[in-house]
């Protein structure tokens, strides 16, 4: 009988991130050789499966969440690739998301919208290395940009119930100065923060703009308003982890450091769809730009009946946002073009028409000038999810 590599997948199916990783693994084996895959649906943090001691295979892809799983995997005699990077001392080759790039996307997004107050809400310290890293990196980058950052503090005693935790979170949110930009460690916490704002009678996004991480469509759409989130590109993590495992099984050398990949981008939904500036005229024009960016309108039309002179408005734009109304319109259109390139199969010609109301040649020139690459290359780099 033909010998095919036997691979075990210890990846949770209870979360969108894990399912995204599995889609990337599927894509890799579709494009290369087929694998005999040993897989059972499971949740994150489950104990090492009993079959692992007697399993005889060629390689393992695992989301290693704790030392129990790490010890069990270290006793196997096959190459193992970790896809979580959650342990401070990890002996396994690792493929994961770059938290530094995730945080930079968040801070840039909030500052572009005019926010000058920031906060972070994560998991209890020490519970998850990735979440701790995101908190520390967010605080550091916000302070580097010249602003302060508030951080949610968990009490020493554990919460007795969901209600108790939500009330504690609501009280903290109520104590913050507004308007404020809140990054959460993942979408679970983002959904909880939106619920806590509802309890605290805080308007999202006008008083508290909330951004999650993972872009889990269920959690993002479960929230009211819908939760903006950073797409961390789990399909690529799965694909690259499968490629690394393939090399290791063929005698390749393990990388000395974790392989960290960039997120795909930020998906703007209603929870951050606001411009946080104190000037009502600037805020009004920004609102008009967001609502009309996909229409064939000019800046002149958007400014037609604003009750302040054009020169004064331009000065105020530069004071609050550091750019002109025309550049703000171009920025919003470019963000929408990126989203369509990443998450749809619409042609470049149609995207040019929908976003910049222009032909593809001019759109390609504008896009390359802003990003350093053509729309086609940008789409190709983000195409791992298309099976």
Residue listed under structure tokens 């920004």: 286
Q: How many CA atoms lie within 13 A of 310 on its CB side?
A: 7
**Which pLDDT does position 2 carry in this prediction?**
55
DSSP class of residue 163 equals H
Q: What is the CATH architecture assignment of 6-97+234-262?
A: 3-Layer(aba) Sandwich (3.40)
The interaxial angle of helices 129-144 and 99-112, nearest 10 deg, is: 40
**Which pLDDT does position 387 carry in this prediction?**
42
Q: How many CA atoms lie within 13 A of 123 on its CB side?
A: 14
Matching fold, domains 99-233+266-272 and 280-381: no
Buried b (16+ CB within 10 A) or exposed e, 312-339: ebeebbeebbeeebbebbbbbbbbbbbb
Per-domain residue ranges of the chain? 6-97+234-262, 99-233+266-272, 280-381
**Which pLDDT does position 1 carry in this prediction?**
53
Residue listed under structure tokens 């494009």: 31
Domain 99-233+266-272: CATH superfamily is Response regulator (3.40.50.2300)
**Which pLDDT does position 385 carry in this prediction?**
44
Nearest by Cα to 184 from 143, 113, 128? 128
**Which pLDDT does position 383 carry in this prediction?**
63
Pick the CATH number of 280-381 from 1.10.10.60, 3.10.20.600, 3.20.20.150, 1.10.3080.10: 1.10.10.60
pLDDT tens sequence for the chain (387 residues): 558 899 999 999 888 899 999 999 999 999 998 899 999 887 877 889 888 888 889 999 999 988 899 999 999 989 999 999 888 777 899 999 999 999 999 999 999 888 999 999 998 887 788 889 999 999 999 999 999 999 999 988 888 899 999 999 999 999 999 999 999 999 999 999 999 999 999 999 989 999 999 999 999 999 989 999 999 999 999 999 999 999 999 999 999 899 999 998 898 898 998 877 778 888 888 888 888 888 888 888 888 888 888 889 899 888 888 889 999 899 889 988 988 888 788 999 999 999 999 999 999 999 999 999 999 998 887 764 444
**Which pLDDT does position 309 carry in this prediction?**
87
Measured CA to CA, the distance from residue 236 to residue 21 in angstroms comes to 7
**What residues form DSSP beta bridges with 196?**
none
DSSP 298-352: -HHHHTTT-SS-HHHHHHHHHHHHSS-HHHHHHHHHHHHHHHHHHH----HHHHH
Could you tell me the two tokens for 289?
Answer: 């730009």
Measured CA to CA, the distance from residue 96 to residue 240 in angstroms comes to 9
Rg (CA), the chain: 23
């Amino acid at each position: 009988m033909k010998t095919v590599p036997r691979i075990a997948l210890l990846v949770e199916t209870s979360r969108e991130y894990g399912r995204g990783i599995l889609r990337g693994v599927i894509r890799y084996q579709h494009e290369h050789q087929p694998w005999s895959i040993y897989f059972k649906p499971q949740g994150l943090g489950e104990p090492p499966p009993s079959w692992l001691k007697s399993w005889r295979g060629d390689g393992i892809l695992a989301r290693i969440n704790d030392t129990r799983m790490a010890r069990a995997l270290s006793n196997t005699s096959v190459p193992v690739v970790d896809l979580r990077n959650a342990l401070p001392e990890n002996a396994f080759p690792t493929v994961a998301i770059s938290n530094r790039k995730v945080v930079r996307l968040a801070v840039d997004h909030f500052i572009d919208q005019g926010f000058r107050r920031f906060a972070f809400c994560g998991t209890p310290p020490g519970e998850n290395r990735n979440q701790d890293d995101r908190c520390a990196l967010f605080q550091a980058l916000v302070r580097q940009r010249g602003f302060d950052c508030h951080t949610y503090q968990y009490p020493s005693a554990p919460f007795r119930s969901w209600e108790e935790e939500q009330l504690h979170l609501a009280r903290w949110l109520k104590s913050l100065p507004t308007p404020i930009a809140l990054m959460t460690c993942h979408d679970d916490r983002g959904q909880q923060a939106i619920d806590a704002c509802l309890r605290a009678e805080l308007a999202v996004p006008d008083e508290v703009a909330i951004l999650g991480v993972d872009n889990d469509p269920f959690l993002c759409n479960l929230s009211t308003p819908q939760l903006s989130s950073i797409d961390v590109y789990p399909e690529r993590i799965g694909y690259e982890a499968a490629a690394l495992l393939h090399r290791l099984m063929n005698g390749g050398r393990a990388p000395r450091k974790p392989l960290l990949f960039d997120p795909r981008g930020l998906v703007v939904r209603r929870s951050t769809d606001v411009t946080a500036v104190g000037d009502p005229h600037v805020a009004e024009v920004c609102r008009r730009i967001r609502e009309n960016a996909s229409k064939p309108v000019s800046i002149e039309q958007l400014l037609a009946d604003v009750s302040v002179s054009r020169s004064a408005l331009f000065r105020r734009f530069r004071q609050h946002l550091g750019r002109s109304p025309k550049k703000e319109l171009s920025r919003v259109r470019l963000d929408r073009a990126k989203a369509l390139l990443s998450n749809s199969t619409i042609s470049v010609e149609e995207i040019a028409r929908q976003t910049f109301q222009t032909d593809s040649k001019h759109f390609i020139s504008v896009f390359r000038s802003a990003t350093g690459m053509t729309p086609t290359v940008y789409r190709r780099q983000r195409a791992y999810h298309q099976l």
